[in-house]
Amino acid sequence: MRFLITAQDTAGNVTLNRGSVPAALKKAAELISDGCWNVEIVTPDGATYQPGEFDQLRDRVGAAGPDRSLTTL
């Protein structure tokens, strides 16, 4: 399962990947705090989340663990 984190900084475009929602959210928060802009997380099913929607992504996973629908392509 691969979550893409995309952003822009003064050097250009940044694209990273992480294997879980918590890891993707953590990296996105780090990029924002480092001054990057246009930060987005793209889920394995192609849904795109911007910073104002990160809570929705977090809720999609929920306290019970990963949403298995995120792994279905």
On whether the CB atoms of residues 70 and 21 are closer than 8 A, the answer is yes
Cβ–Cβ under 8 Å, residues 4 and 42: yes
Provide the whole-model pTM: 0.81
CA neighbor of 21 nearest in space, from 52, 64, 67, 53: 67
Q: What is the pLDDT of residues 5-50, one digit of tens each?
A: 999 999 999 999 999 999 999 999 999 999 999 999 999 999 999 9
The residue written with tokens 């928060």 in the block is 29
**Are 5 and 38 a contacting pair, CB within 8 Å?**
no
Please give the radius of gyration of the chain, using alpha carbons only, rounded to the nearest integer: 12
